Structure 1
Amino acid sequence: MKLILSLSAALVMGIAMPVSAQPAKLVEGKPATAATKAANAAVLKDLPFNDKADFEDAHRGFIAAPATLTIKDAKGNVVWDLESYKKYISEDKAAPDSINPSLYRNAQLNMIYGLFKVTDRIFQIRGYDLSNITFIQGDTGWIVFDPLISAETARAALDFANEKLGKRPVVAVVYSHSHVDHYGGVRGLANDEDFKSGKVRVYAPEHFTEHAVSENVIAGNVMSRRAIYMYGALLQRNEFGGVNGGLGQTTSTGTGTLVIPDVEVKKTGEEHVIDGVKMVFQMTPGTEAPAEMNTFFPQFKAMWMAENSTNTMHNLLTLRGAQVRDALKWSAYLNETISLYGTDTVVKFQSHHWPQWGTEKITEYFKKQRDLYKYVHDQSVNLMNKGYTGEEISEMVKLPPELDQFWPNRGYYGTVRHNSRAVYQRYMGWYNGNPSNLNNLPPEAAAKKYVEYMGGEAAVMKRAKVDFDKGEYRWTAEALKHVVFANPQSKAGKELLADSLEQLGYQAESGPWRGVYLMGAYELRNGVPAAGGINTATPDTIKAMPPEMLFDYLAVRLNGPKAAGKKIFLNIELPDLKKQYGLAVENAVLNYGKPLAKVDAKLTLTKATLDSIQLKEITLEQAIAKGDLKIEGKREAFSEFMGLLDTFPFWFNIVTP
C-alpha cells in the first residue's frame, strides 16, 4: 500500500491545493436493507467463525497497551485515533447489520493493540498505524523494522517500548520495502545528526530509494485522489462508515519522512550482523513492491515476511491505481521461502497483522498463501486462453474450499474478483478483443444514449426502484450511473445510486471495496469535497528525487495543445551535483539530456535551491533576488516554459461527470 498524507511540494506535483472544508452537515448513512442483512447472514454460515486460532495468536505475547490511543502532532492535531473505532468495534460484540461479518472479524483482530513479545529479543507494537513496528534487541540498542507512516506514531511507539522494556537507543533501521507505511516514520526514531553521523544505520533492499521516491510521482495526483476512496478517508467512524483498511484500521496523517539507506541488500542469502543480531535476507523484487525483502533470523528461528504474506489476500492491482503486480512471481518467491527457510522457522511475523508460531502450521500457511496467488493466476490465464474477458473471468474464478475457507486468504484487502481482472490486464491490457469496445463512447456521451434508449430518465428510475427493492444493487449501480452522467442535476438519480453503492459497501468483505462504495455514496450525497491537502510527496521525498525524475514529471505536466508550435531551449546547471542538462520543448513534448549548444536561456542553481522552490520555501523571484538562481539569456523564455506547465486539480469528479 502507499498513501502519504502531508502538505508539501505543490510545485513539483502540479497540484492545486484545496482550501475549503467538508460540508457543514454530512448526510448520515442509511440502515442495511433486508437484502443486505440476508447477504451478511449468509457469510456467517459460509465461513468457520468458530475457529478462534487467529484471536489466540493476536493476543499471544501481550505485554501492555495504553488505556487510550490517540496520537497528536506538535501543533495538537490528531494524527492517529484508535479510540474512534472502539465505539462500534469490540471483540465481544457481533457485527452490525451494516458490516460484513468477515470484515468485522478482521477489524476485531486489528483492534488488538499494544506491545507484544514475538520471541526472544523480538517485540512488536501493533495498532499504532496501518502497519506494525518491530523492535529487536541488539547488543547495545534497538534494531527497528518498518517504522510506520508518520514520525509522530513511530515516536509514540518507541516511547512506549522504552517505557515497558527499558530505554535503549535506536542503532539501526531496516526498511522491508518501498511503500511509505514501512519507512515514513523513520525520523521519529532519532535526530538528524544520529542518521548523518552513522550512529543509526539504515538498511533496505536494492533500488529502494528509486522506487520509494518514484512511485506515485508521475501519476501521483490521480492515485492520491483515488486513495481517498480506497481508504474511505472522509467516512464517519461508525457502523455506517469506515470499518477497516484490510491491512490495519486506517492510515495515520502525521509527518511522512525518509532517510536514504546506508546499506542496500542486493542478493538472497546475503548476511549482515547488526548489533549482534545475524540476519539472512531473501530478495523478493516485483512481488508486493518493486523493491522488497524478507529476513530470516537464524538464532531465533524467526522469519520476517515483510508484506509478502499477511493474514489477507493482497492486491495484484491496488484500487488507487498502480502497475499490475506479478502473481506468478509472487507465488514463486513464497515457494522459495518454504524451500530456504520453512523447516527452520518456528515463528513467522510481518509488517501487518499478527504472528504465527509452529513450523508445521507456518509451512501450511506459506503453502496456502503461495497457492492463493498461483491459483488466481493460473485459472485466470486458463480462462483467458479460452476466450473469456476480464469481466467474465472475474465472475468465473472461485477459490477451491481448501483455499477459500482459510482465514488468511480472505479478501480483506485484495479480492479474487479484481485480482483476476488484474491478471487479465497484465497479459492482455485494456482491450477485450470485441470491436465494439475498441473505440467506444466516453461515459458522459454513452450515458445520454443509454438513457434515451431505455425510454428516458423517468423510465430508468422506475425500473431501478423495483430492482433496488429486490436487492439487485450491482445492476442498479450500473444502470443509475448512466442517469447521473446523462443528467448530473438528477437529485433522485444520485440518491438512488448512492443508496445502491451504500448497500454494496455494507456487504463488502474487502476494506478498500467498502471504502470505494461508501465514498461514492458520500460524494453523491454531499458533493465533491475540498478538504485538506493530501499529496504524495514529503520534503524528504522531494530532496531524494534526482533531477531526471523531476524532468520526467515536468514533461507530464506540459500542456501539449498549448505547447504546439513552440520551441524553447534551456540549459540547467546544478553545480553542487556537477551536472548540466539541456531541456527542449519541441513538437509539443519536453525532452532532456546533455546540455544544448544553442539555448534561449541558461539557469544555474543548486539542488538545494531547486528543492526549496519545489517545497515553496522560496519563490522563483526570491531565489533570483538572493542570487541563488541565475538566469542568463532570455528570462521570458523560462517564464513561457513555466506557463506551459499544468497544475492538476486534486478534487476532480469520480462518480459524477
Structure 2
Amino acid sequence: MYANEHPAAETGSKAVPFYRGGQDHNKVTVPNGAILNGDFVRHMMQGKRGVRATMARSGIHVIEGYHSVNCIVVEGDTGLIVIETGTRFGHGRDFRKFIRGFSDKPVKALVYSHHHYIGGAAGLLDGESAAEVQVFAHPQTEQLAATTGSLLGPMQLRRSGIQFGAYLPDTGPDARLGRGDKHFDDPQMNAAAPLPVTHAVADGEVVAVDGVVMRFHHIIGDTRDSLAIEFPELDAVVANSALGPMAYPMYTLRGDFFRTPDELIAALDLLRRLDRTYVIPVHGSPYTDKASAQAALTAHRDAYAFIWNQSLRAINRGMSPDEMVASIQLPEHLANDPVLYPGYVDWEYGIRGVYRGLVGWYNEDGADLHPPSRAEMGDVLVEGFGGEEALLSRARQAMGEHKYNLAASLMSYLVAAQPGSEAARQLKADALRAMAQATRTGIQTRHFLLTEALHLEGKTDWHQPSPKSFFAAEGAETLAQRAPQELVKLLEQRLDPTVSPTLRTSVAFRFPGRGACGLLLRPGIAEYRDEPPEDAALELSLDALTMARLSLGETSLTGEVASGAVRARGNTDLVRVIEAALALVARTA
C-alpha cells in the first residue's frame, strides 16, 4: 500500500463530491512524493509492466507503455504497416528500436488513426526512403493538424501541456504520476516530424498493402478525423474510438471542437457490429476475445448514451447546466465499471459540454447577458463582507468546512478585484490544491487545478508554453512542406487592429514554383485571396521555408527583406507597416 492509503471510497450517485471533501480520506502519497486520489493511483498502476511489445494475434504486435498512444505493427509479406508514431521524431526513433526486437522487416506503410500522433513518423524510418512509404489517413487529417498546430497552436500547445502535467515538478506533493511522455535534449529528436499523407482514404475503402487487406471506416473519436482500420483476413480492427482504458473523450479542458456524444456512440456501435475477435484501441490494452471486447464497447456506449439522452431530456425541461450536473448521475453499474473509471475527465464536464455545444452559453439567466466584470463583483463582495480580511476569513471558514470549491470561487473574485493580494492568491491556491489531491480525475482535473495553484504562487507561468508540452511544435522545415498559402491565410488572425488603424492596402505573396496569393488590408481586417491582387501596393517574393520561419516568429520581415530572402517590389515603405500590423517579427524567448 502507498503511504496514507485508505480503503477505496464509495462511488456512485450518493457520494459526496471531491470538491466538498468527499474524497479527503482517500489520498495517498506515491514514491515520488505526489499526493493523489488512491482510486486513481490504483487504476493507473493496475497491470503496468513498463514498455512491452505484445502479440495481440499472429501478425499484429502492440507496443504499450512507452507513450500515451500504442504503436500497432502489422506484419506484411515483406514489410510492416505501422499505426501511430508518437508526437516527436524521437518517439518514432524509439518505436523503431522496439520494433527491431521482433521484426527486421522494413516499414512499407504508415496509418494515422487521427492527427494527434503523427509527429514521430519520420523517426520510424531507418534506411527506407520516405518517398517509397505509403501514408494512409482520413481526408481531414492534414487540415486538422494544421488547425491544431497553427490556427489554435499557441492555445493547444499551452493547454495540452497543462493537461498532461508539463508544468508540474518531478517530485513532491504537486508532482505528476509517472514521468509523462519522453522529451529529448536534441532539438531534432524533440521536433514534430510527420510525413505527408499519400492516400486520403474514403469511408469503406479497401486497400491491400504488402499482402495485408485493410478496410477503412470514418468514425468520430476524440477527433473528427478518426479511423477504424479493419483487417478482415486477420479478424481484427484497430480504432481511435471512444473505447479506452477509462472514460475519456466526451470533453477536454484543453479546448477542442464540440464532441457530440451520438457520434461517439455511432463509432462504438460500428465496432460492435464488426464483431471482431481482436479489438485494438490506440489507447489501452488490446481485447483478444469477442466477449470482453463486446462488454467494454457496450459499457462505453451505454455511458455516453446515458449522459447524452439525459442531457437532452434536461435541456428540454428547461434546466440550467448547474441543475443538470446536480441531477444527472450515471447508474451504479456504469459508475462502478472499471473500464469507465473517470481518470481522464469528469462526467460533469461532459454534461456542461453538451449544453454549451447544443444550446450555447446563454442559460436563461438575464443577468448573464451583460454581466459585471469579476473585478467589480470582487469589489462589491469585499465591501459587502466589510473588507478584504473579512472575505478572506469567510473563505478560510469554507476551507475548514471542506467546501473547497466555495473557497476557490470567493478568492477568484478577490484576486480579480485585488490582483496584488498575496493572501487571496495563496488561499485560492490552497483550495485548488486540496481539490487536486482528492479528485479521482487525476489527469485533467488534477493537472489543471495544480498548475493554476503553482501559477498563483508564482512558481510557474501557465500563460507560456512549457518546453515539456505534450505536443511538439512543428519546426520551420516541417511547416514548409505545407502549401505556403495556408500560412498566409493564417495571417488574418494575426492582424493587430491597434496598429495603423486606418491602413488600407493590398499585398501580393509569390512563392516561386509553388503559386501565389494575396492579402487585402482594411481597418481591423485582413482578407485572404487565392489570387494576388493585380494592383497590389506591395509584392513580396519568397520561398516556403522563409514563410514558415516568419510564421513561427523565428525571423522578421524587415530582416528577411534586408538579407534578400524576401524580395519586395512596389511601395517598400509598407514593409515596416505590414511587419508591425501582422506581427511578422522575431519572438523573444
Instruction: Assess, with a 3 A threshold, how the Cα gap between structure 1 residues 243 and 580 changes in structure 2: closer, same or farther.
Output: closer
Does the 8 Å CA contact 1:583/1:590 hold for their aligned counterparts? yes
Which residue does the alignment assign to 2:409?
Answer: 478
Distance (whole Å) between structure 2 residues aligned to residue 492 and residue 625 of structure 1: 52
2:334 aligned residue (380, 403, 413): 403
TM-score, normalization: structure 2? 0.87
Greater shift after overlay, 105-114 or 203-212? Answer: 105-114
Q: Is the 8 A contact 1:313 1:410 kept in 2?
A: yes
Relative to 1, partners in 2 of residues 1:451 and 1:273: Cα closer, same or farther, differing over 3 Å? same
Distance 1:621 1:567 in 2: 20
Q: What does residue 518 of structure 1 align with? A: 450
65, 72, 84: which is aligned to 1:134? 72
Q: Could you tell me which residue of structure 2 aligns to residue 386 of structure 1? A: 317
Residue 494 of structure 2 corresponds to residue 557 of structure 1 = yes
Aligned to 2:40: 103
Tell me which residue corresponds to 2:573: 636
Number of the residue aligned with 2:122: 187
Tell me the CA shift for residue 612 of structure 1: 4.4
CA contact (8 A) 1:443 1:485 kept: yes
How many matched pairs?
558
Contact kept, 8 Å, 2:221 with 2:249, in 1: the verdict is no
CA 1:601/1:561 → structure 2, altered by over 3 Å: closer, same or farther? Answer: same
Unaligned 5+ segments in structure 1 are: 1-30, 48-85, 90-95, 652-657
Q: Distance in 1 between matches of 2:196 and 2:81?
A: 17
**Cα separation, 1, equivalents of 2:88 and 2:510:** 34
Q: 1:297 aligns with which of 222, 228, 231?
A: 231
**Residue in 2 aligned with 1:235?**
168
Query: For residues 540 and 447 of structure 1, what CA distance do their matches in structure 2 show?
Result: 48
The residue that corresponds to 1:81 in the other structure is none
Aligned-partner Cα distance in 2 for 1:160–1:279: 24
Q: 1:513 is matched by which residue type in structure 2?
A: T
SS of alignment partner, residue 171 of structure 1: strand
CA deviation after TM superposition for structure 1 residue 238, in Å: 3.9
CA distance in 2, matches of 1:411, 1:566: 52
2:325 & 2:586 partners in 1: Cα distance? 33
CA distance in 2, matches of 1:97, 1:646: 41
The one-letter code of the counterpart of 1:237 is: D
Paired residues of 1:129 and 1:149 also in contact (CA < 8 A): no
Give the letter aligned to residue 184 of structure 1. Answer: G
Among candidates 213, 222, 240, match of residue 278 of structure 1:
213
Structure 1 window deviating more from structure 2 (468-477 vs 186-195): it is 186-195
Summarize the alignment of residues 428-439 of structure 1 with structure 2, pairs less than 5 Å apart: 428-439=359-370
Structure 1 residues 232-281: Cα deviation after superposition (integer angstroms, max 9, x where no partner): 21212346234459xx944646221111111111112x212222222222
Instruction: Tell me how far 1:336 sits from its aligned partner.
Output: 2.1
Alignment check: 8 A CA contact 1:130 1:252 kept: no
Query: SS in structure 1 opposite 2:166?
Result: coil
CA contact (8 A) 1:217 1:537 kept: no
Taking structure 1 as the reference length, the TM-score comes to 0.79
In the alignment, which residue of structure 1 is the partner of 2:96? Answer: 158
1:306-343 Cα offsets, whole Å, 9 max, x none, are: 2431111123332111221111111112112212x11x
Residue 266 (structure 1) aligns with: 202
| CA deviations over 1:83-111 (Å, ceiling 9, x no partner) | xxx9728xxxxxx9931122112321474
Distance 1:618 1:217 in 2: 17
- SS of residue paired to 1:136: strand
Distance 1:420 1:251 in 2: 33
Q: Relative to 1, partners in 2 of residues 1:221 and 1:453: Cα closer, same or farther, differing over 3 Å?
A: farther
Secondary structure of 2:339 counterpart: helix
Show the counterpart of 2:539: 602
Aligned to 1:123: 61
1:55-81, Cα deviation, whole Å (9 max, x unpaired): xxxxxxxxxxxxxxxxxxxxxxxxxxx
Residues 650 and 232 from structure 1, CA distance in 2 versus in 1: closer, same or farther, beyond 3 angstroms?
A: farther
* RMSD (CA atoms): 2.9
Q: 1:88 aligns with which of 12, 16, 31?
A: 31
Q: Does the residue aligned with 1:582 lie in a helix, a strand or coil? A: strand
Map of 2:144 onto structure 1:
211
Higher RCO (CA-CA < 8 Å; seq separation 6+): 1
Change beyond 3 A, Cα 1:395–1:567: same
Q: Does residue 256 in structure 1 map to residue 192 in structure 2?
A: yes
Q: 1:133 to 1:147 in 2, by over 3 A?
A: same
Are residues 1:222 and 2:165 paired?
no
Q: Deviations along 1:139-168, whole A, 9 cap, x unmatched?
A: 112211101112212212221331x32422
CA gap of 1:218–1:108, structure 2 versus 1, over 3 A, is: same
Counterparts in 2 of 1:397 and 1:403: CA distance versus 1, 3 Å: same
CA distance in 2, matches of 1:280, 1:492: 60
The amino acid that maps onto 1:98 is I
- In structure 2, relative to structure 1, the CA distance for the partners of 1:315 and 1:563 (3 Å cut) is farther
**2:344 counterpart of 1:413:** yes
What amino acid maps onto 1:524 in structure 2? L
Give the SS at the match of 2:457: helix
How far apart, in 1, do the equivalents of 2:88 and 2:455 lie? Answer: 28
Pair 252,271 (structure 1): closer, same or farther in 2 beyond 3 Å = farther
1:609-634 Cα distance to aligned partner (Å, 9 max, x none)? 42344456765456445644221111
Alpha carbons 1:451, 1:482 under 8 Å: kept: no
CA contact (8 A) 2:553 2:586 kept: no
1:110–1:648 distance in 2 versus 1, CA, 3 Å: farther
Matches within 5 A, 1:47-62: none
Partner residue, 2:17: none
Structure 1, residues 31-74: CA drift from partner, whole Å, max 9, x if none? Answer: 99xxxx8xx95744448xxxxxxxxxxxxxxxxxxxxxxxxxxx
**2:89, 2:191 within 8 Å by CA — same for their partners in 1?**
yes
Give the aligned partner of residue 263 of structure 2: 329
Q: Any conservation in 2 of the 1:301–1:347 contact (CA below 8 Å)?
A: yes
Q: CA deviation at 1:567?
A: 0.9
Comparing 390-399 with 473-482, greater Cα deviation is found at 390-399
On the 8 A contact 2:86/2:92 being kept in 1, the answer is: yes
1:359 is aligned to 290
